[in-house]
Amino acid sequence: MGSRLERVLALHCSPALFGIKSSNLINCNLKDYPNLEEDILNLNNEFKDKIRFNILYKENDHILLLVYKIKKLQETIFDSKNHQYLINYGYPNNYNLDDYLNCLKRRVIINKFPHEIGVFLGYDLNDIIDFSNGNKKPIHVGYWSVYSNIEEKIKLFNKFTKCREVVTNLVMQGKALESMI
């Protein structure tokens, strides 16, 4: 993998790559990464059934990429409350990750950033609901808008930030991202 792509993945996707977050989204400009689609195929072949790099949306010269550990994302979206929430948004009443990702892709095309994408990103469901209702003011804004349990979420956000800092520093020192995962 190219070092530039490694740095971007380390900076924006470390929490998902190391399984402390369900997934991360990254918006990539194909002008900056002309071989990105080929790189994604190579990454998916290299990481096989552990980590996936999934193109949610492609428009002109931009790709919206979802990066996730398969098992972690399945645990998150198939948690009973999250699963029911997604079913209420028209997701299938099954436990097939590919079906859910395909549904998310359709929803992204229609809505650009549908509220339920927060479930895939590992956001707290109550925060997603409060945000989408729009009738409450967040008590904190970090990796997402927080409406409750601020202390717990700040600890989690700090964990995400620490992971990103450590991994980014190691990649900047020349360590390959693949060797750390």
The pLDDT tens digits of the residues spanning 110-149 come to: 888 899 999 999 999 999 999 999 889 999 999 999 999 9
The pLDDT tens digits of the residues spanning 85-113 come to: 999 999 999 999 999 999 999 999 988 88
Return all residues near 79 (Cβ < 8 A) that are at least 6 apart: none
Return all residues near 87 (Cβ < 8 A) that are at least 6 apart: 93
Written as six digits, the tokens of 99 are 């079906």
Return all residues near 135 (Cβ < 8 A) that are at least 6 apart: none
Give pLDDT, residue 96.
97
The pLDDT tens digits of the residues spanning 30-63 come to: 999 989 999 999 999 988 888 999 999 998 899 9
Strands 51-59 and 140-141: unpaired
pLDDT of residue 25 exceeding 80: yes
pLDDT of residue 180 exceeding 90: no
Grade residue 178 by pLDDT with cuts at 50, 70 and 90.
confident
Residue 24: name the closest of 62, 59, 56 by CA. 56
- Find the distance separating the first CA and the last CA of the chain, reported in whole Å: 14
